[in-house]
Amino acid sequence: MDIDFLVSLARTYSIDTVHPGYGFLSESADFAWRMWDEAQVVVIGPGREILAQTSDKLQARQLAMECGVPVLKAITSPTSNVNEIQAFASDAGYPVMIKAVDGGGGRGIRQVNNENEVAEAVNRAVRESPSQAVFVEKAAVNGYHHVEVQIVGDGTGSVQHLWERDCSVQRRFQKLIEVAPANIRNRKLLCAVIDSALGIARRIRYRSLGTFEYLVSEEREEFFFLEINPRLQVEHTVTESILGVDLVQMQLLLSQGASLDDLGLGTLPDPEIPPNSHSIQLRICAEDPRDNFALSIGTIKDFTLPTGHGVRVDTGNPLAVGTEFDNLLAKLIVTAPTWEATVLKAQRALTDTNIGGVKTNISLLRAIVLHPDFLAGKIDTRWLESNLDQLISLSQSFYAHDLPLAGPRRERDSIQLSTVSSSSALLLRKGDAWSITLKPLDDGPVQEQIQHHLRLKRVLRNGFPTSMAAEIEYTTPNAPRSAIPYKIQLEATAASASISMSSTYRRGDPGNPRHIVLPLSGKLVELNVSPGEDVVEGQVLAFVKQMKMELEVRSPRSGRVKWVLEPDETDADLAEGVLLVELDERGASNSDGGQLGFKGKL
């Protein structure tokens, strides 16, 4: 995001071309202008003028309206005025969406269901927006597919579509599964969507790749324009797979002056006749779906991914997951001639996928592709969140019972999945035992080596290696086996591996009603309570940032604050389970005993 630094690099090393990837700068007209004006560097993409028209959601929306494309009711200029937004929402009706004009990947978006949520939603959306500019739009929430049209143009007014993708399986406005072509039987409706995207692209003489996004209701036979992503998409893989093309190569050739005819795209394909294959992309992320998709940080272990015909994996082979960047570990793409065969292949590929060291969403992905609604294409943008409890329950059954397609790997897969999906990177169970030998380090006379034997009799809390509580049977050669059991308890840890959590903090006890425990890992950006202060149930205590998004940490109970965490540094990285606030005994006596909940509208 540091344009000054990138310009300096380009000058120093005589760089003449930059591919901006997926991030914010890929949609930045300012970045494209400065790289050319200050370093004579071409930024691969639509070009500076088109970026200025399309990367801003409000300007793109205005462009769609001028082309006669349906849009949702919205405030037509950036605003962070709470009264103005509340007045609009009262007129349009809740729910509404607060959106950063330059957000992306779910960042800078908040759904607001009533006027009491407006102020906080605006504040958080502004903080996640590079330009800190937001607007408000009526929300379309029931029965809508998230459909996007892949557009390619050569800048002469010649534009082409490469059919569409359905990205309706989402959580927190972030895509989890994408499919191509869309699972909408009404091709005439999809043709109208594609035609509208082509009309907008022709009007501005679009160049390079672009994705035009819509909400589409098959039941109501209507659609609404959302935005233009003037860049390569993370989910471009499914389009490549069903068409046998290389979209990145297209970008590179178009940036060198190639025409659509040069690329073999001179003839417009009939949008009513979709390709003869289907593709599914599954995003494997370091997060815990059972804990409101909380980010999971740590060192990656056992990175096993599938292979085979029709299976593609895009990954950077990550070594660790921290709090600063996206938690996407790999994209698993499967392709087959029919939708049914593609779903079966996705089920098989996921059984061959194992990642250790952090919690992942692999089990949830398994549950989704096994669900009859997914096979039937009955998925809208609210389907995942509406069915999450059922899907989580199904995913938990995989810990004890493997999937039907697991084959000879069933036992191994079941064990690895249980390890990954437990509350820590190491599954500790009753009966586990260790023999530990203590040997002197000095080189003096040989001393006796003492062997200690530990056996877990009961695991009380398994948060190893950050915290653990257990009853153990402890023996030495000189101690009788019938000795009184010990209780071992790990209260704090100093983690300094590949993530910046080098300080030691108190660990909280979720079973202690006086302890309010940090429910997720992340960067602590605000802590809004002090010792001696009274807090009430549901009060926002702190804000934690994960991957440029901010989440609210709310108190699960009322009471008087006795102690508050004081981080070693500003914007400290904290691990899940750190003690955030301790209440005094009188305040905690009215506790409902529940654990800390957090609310993150992302």
List active site positions: 175
- Determine the 3-state secondary structure of 504 from DSSP: coil
- ∠ CA 498-504-510, nearest 5°, is 100
Give me 215's structure tokens: 């909400």
- Tokens 């109501």, located at residue: 220
Cα–Cα distance measured from residue 397 to residue 84, given in angstroms and rounded to the nearest whole number:
48
For helices 362-370 and 388-396, angle between their N-to-C axes, nearest 10 degrees = 110
Give me 532's structure tokens: 């001696």
Cα–Cα distance measured from residue 187 to residue 205, given in angstroms and rounded to the nearest whole number:
26
Strands, E assignment, 476-596: 486-490, 515-517, 522-527, 534-535, 540-546, 549-554, 559-564, 573-574, 579-583
**Dihedral, CA atoms, 149, 150, 151, 152, nearest 10 degrees?**
-170
Cβ–Cβ under 8 Å, residues 229 and 276 = no
- How far is CA 201 from its chain centroid? 29
- Cβ atoms < 10 Å from Cβ of 510: 17
CB crowding 102-137: b at 16 or more within 10 Å, else e: bbbbbbbbbbbeeeebbebbbbbbbbbbbbebbbbb
Cα–Cα distance measured from residue 592 to residue 589, given in angstroms and rounded to the nearest whole number:
9
- Tokens 């009533």, located at residue: 114
Cα–Cα distance measured from residue 239 to residue 242, given in angstroms and rounded to the nearest whole number:
6
